[in-house]
Structure 1
Amino acid sequence: MSDDHDGVPELLAAWAFGALQPADERAVPLHLAGCESCAAEAERLRETVRLLDGPPGAPEQAAVHNGAALPDGVLAAARRARPTAPRVAAHAAPYAAAVTGLTALLREVDGRRPWGTPVVHDWDVRDTVGHLIAADEELARLLGVSADGAAADVPASRGGPDLPWEEAWEARTADMIAYQRTRSPEETVAAWAAQSSALLATPEARDPERASHATTMLGVRLPVADHFLGRAFETWIHTVDIGRALGLAVPPPVEAHLGQMVRLAVRMLGLALGPTAPPVLFAVTGVEGDLQWVLGSEGEPVRGELALRAVDFCLLVGGRHTPASIPRGVEGDENAVRAVLEQAAALAWL
């Protein structure tokens, strides 16, 4: 690569999708660090990645960013370069897409963006990946996935079966992170990738009927299909965490996947509020033509209205917004609305 852009524009689509060839993985970022025009175009392409994805069988559409359609040649190159997510049923597609997104992002970690970069809590990049190994581990165990390469050598979880799930979870994730710190970052990423790939290869990821049976995980009894959505949600949240730490923008899930996550989060929110909470009309905007529910009591008139953007709602449930800071539209009883916001935030355990 030379400073006169030789060969770089043709590689920007592959860079945006994290699909550069090994020979270019260092050269392109080095060029972008010193070239303002290429860096701006690269970031523009990265922000359009989510517009190129969609549910299996969805019609192709031109990606538009800031009012301008991307050139056909760039779109074609980007689609060829896009990492391929495993073919799975609709309930597991968001997890497959989230795994693909995090895989692409982790390719950006190098000497300029080191693995030791602080991310969230007291975790760096490698610790966060280790946390995801622990988070996926329970579903993997329930579905009969081997722990080889991920947690085979980690000591058994502390405590017995009667330990509250919150305590058991905190102990397990701490043990997993401590173990992964004894390995290289590459080994940790390989372990996470192996486990996530094995999950996506299970019959439950490919067969909606098999995924319809319920099982309890992390204190919640849900169909396996919903547990896959939960894994997608957490993987995306921590991808956003890592992206922010590294100074890289992470696009939201595609609209169909975002809608699935929103619906699951609203179901959990409704259960947590219970049937006696003051009723609130809750609208989620920016996904599938906007969605609405009445949360709380069915025996009295709606007392308040709350509108949140879909991504903001997911970040609130994921613990990345607070009830005080989240952008919102409110009408009516502010106390009733505040109760919904506070309960949504209380769902966060990531």
Structure 2
Amino acid sequence: MNGPDQWDGRELSGGPGERPRIPAPRAAPEDRGPLPDVPPAPVTEPAGDAVAGDGGSPAHDDPRADTPREPEAEPLTDIAPAPLTAPTPAPPHRVLKSLLGAWALSACSAEETAAVEEHLTDCASCADEALRLRDAVGLLHPADSLDLDPLLRSRVLEGCLGRRPARIPVPEWAAPYDAETAKLDALLRDMGEAEWRAPVRLRWFEGERPVERETTVAGVMGHLLAVDGLVATALGLPDPLGTAAPPGAPNPLIRTETFWRSPDGEPGPTATHGPWRDQSYSLIRQVSFAGGKVAELAVPYGDFRLPLRDAFLDRAFECWVHAGDIAEAVDYPYEAPAAAHLHRMVDLAARLLPSALADRRRAGLAAPPQRLVEAGAPGRTLHLEVEGNGGGHWYIALDSPAALGTPDHTVAHIALDSAEFCQLAAGHIPPEEAAAGQHGERDAIREVLFATASLSRL
């Protein structure tokens, strides 16, 4: 050959007397594949300087003798195929059926899942069962709380009544009591026997100092049962104390002590939960049938009386307060009343403040009025602002319980959060510790805060 040839992109010298430069073997595509690597054949160098051999040599017989040739690779050895393994037999029907529950929960291994799903294509009964189990799994929510929402009953009733009004509706002023008793009933249903004996600390305010009394969850329910009995007897329903009811003017404290000393006052859900729940149902049913005719019926509370509409708000407020005491004792979360219901409770407390101020003055616990009020005159007024859920604005008459407060005669202003105001009215925080925004006459502010705390009782 007179010129350089191309071999795999490299020049090779093919002149006489020169040794050809043979490149290394190219890598085959299957070198990294499943076949074993085959080593290249060794290259034999020509003897002497001649490129062509003697007569009969390939240099004379083959016209392409001066062209370098790629070394021939050794033949590949045959690779024996992998021995065939027998297929794994499918598990029996009873085994696959027992795996359906785990399969529905995605708890099977890959092999079990494949076996079950192959079985479902041939077995109609297992396919139906698997479909039912998958539907049931869709109803499970393990991350959610299994406790019922205490407001569930109220929301269901509200939705039902919104679609179809009740033929005999619950009066608007009795709705807070209906909702709070339902919430407390839901809490009690979720408690065990031991929790009924959990210690509960009852707190209220007397005179100038806070008072405490320790009882149990069952004791708290006995107290609610006995005091709700005042409303029950006013409506002509049986007295829960029966013949053990103390004679004379009904007093909530005396009635509670009487029930606690009775055999029915022993701790336990059967002694208090059932009777209290039945009595609350009877009260709601009775006022619903009576309608507005009984709204102004007087309910005696010992030294004072309340119209029935206000007595129901008072019982709703106390039910909520003591339900919070129980929830705190058993470490259970408890929600505040709905905004509309809480506003009614706060309004009742604000309307009772002028009378509470007059009672404290008669007991020598508050200074006399600073201004003589003639008949029909408003006198001094304190602006009570309750902020937050259920709040509002009220003007409290300071000099006469019969007068009506007006913005024009305001001498002081108090701002309280609704939750803090309710805790103060329940006697759970002292008046000195109420974090109130205050402006105006200091004495008027102090008297109203102490009068608010004096609304509490056992």
Normalising by structure 1, we get a TM-score of 0.70
Aligned to 2:442: 334
The one-letter code sitting in structure 1 at the alignment partner of 2:369 is T
Aligned to 1:276: 369
Q: What is the aligned residue count?
A: 283
Aligned to 1:221: 305
Could you tell me how far apart the structure 1 residues matched to 2:159 and 2:191 are?
33
C-alpha deviations, 1:94-135, integer Å up to 9, x for none? 000110011011123216x62111112221000000000101
State the secondary structure of the residue aligned to 1:327: coil
Unaligned stretches of 5+ residues in structure 2:
1-106, 108-136, 163-167, 202-212, 359-367, 371-379, 400-404
Could you tell me how far apart the structure 2 residues matched to 1:109 and 1:192 are?
16
Could you tell me how far apart the structure 2 residues matched to 1:107 and 1:248 are?
13
Aligned to 1:126: 218
Does residue 15 of structure 2 align to residue 15 of structure 1? no
The one-letter code sitting in structure 2 at the alignment partner of 1:230 is D
The one-letter code sitting in structure 2 at the alignment partner of 1:276 is P
CA contact (8 A) 1:89 1:206 kept: no
Q: In the TM superposition, what is the alpha-carbon distance from 1:309 to its structure 2 partner?
A: 1.6
Question: Which has a greater percent of helix?
Answer: 1
User: Aligned pair in 2 of structure 1 residues 288, 59: CA closer, same or farther (>3 Å)?
Assistant: farther
CA contact (8 A) 1:284 1:290 kept: yes
Does residue 259 of structure 2 align to residue 176 of structure 1? yes
C-alpha deviations, 1:264-290, integer Å up to 9, x for none? 111111222259365321111114563
State the secondary structure of the residue aligned to 1:145: coil
State the secondary structure of the residue aligned to 2:395: strand
Return the match for 2:324 from 240, 243, 246.
240
RMSD over aligned Cα, in angstroms?
A: 3.4
Does residue 391 of structure 2 align to residue 293 of structure 1? no
Aligned to 2:72: none
State the secondary structure of the residue aligned to 1:16: coil
Aligned to 1:208: 292
The one-letter code sitting in structure 2 at the alignment partner of 1:186 is T
CA contact (8 A) 2:170 2:287 kept: no
> Percent of aligned pairs with the same residue?
29
Greater relative contact order (Cα < 8 A, sep 6+): 1
User: Aligned pair in 2 of structure 1 residues 194, 12: CA closer, same or farther (>3 Å)?
Assistant: farther
Return the match for 1:198 from 282, 285, 290.
282
State the secondary structure of the residue aligned to 1:292: strand
CA contact (8 A) 2:230 2:300 kept: no
Could you tell me how far apart the structure 2 residues matched to 1:213 and 1:54 are?
31
Aligned to 1:77: none
Q: In the TM superposition, what is the alpha-carbon distance from 1:308 to its structure 2 partner?
A: 1.2
CA contact (8 A) 1:139 1:217 kept: no
C-alpha deviations, 1:302-331, integer Å up to 9, x for none? 332101122221221111121122232112
Could you tell me how far apart the structure 2 residues matched to 1:317 and 1:54 are?
31
Larger Rg belongs to: 2
Q: In the TM superposition, what is the alpha-carbon distance from 1:227 to its structure 2 partner?
A: 0.8
Aligned to 1:32: none
Does residue 235 of structure 2 align to residue 143 of structure 1? yes
Does residue 182 of structure 2 align to residue 100 of structure 1? yes
Aligned to 1:21: none
Correspondence 1:81-96 to 2 at 5 A:
87-96=169-178
Could you tell me how far apart the structure 1 residues matched to 2:319 and 2:254 are?
20
Could you tell me how far apart the structure 1 residues matched to 2:290 and 2:149 are?
25
Unaligned stretches of 5+ residues in structure 1:
19-48, 61-85
Does residue 191 of structure 2 align to residue 109 of structure 1? yes
State the secondary structure of the residue aligned to 1:338: helix
Could you tell me how far apart the structure 1 residues matched to 2:278 and 2:381 are?
45
CA contact (8 A) 2:317 2:345 kept: yes
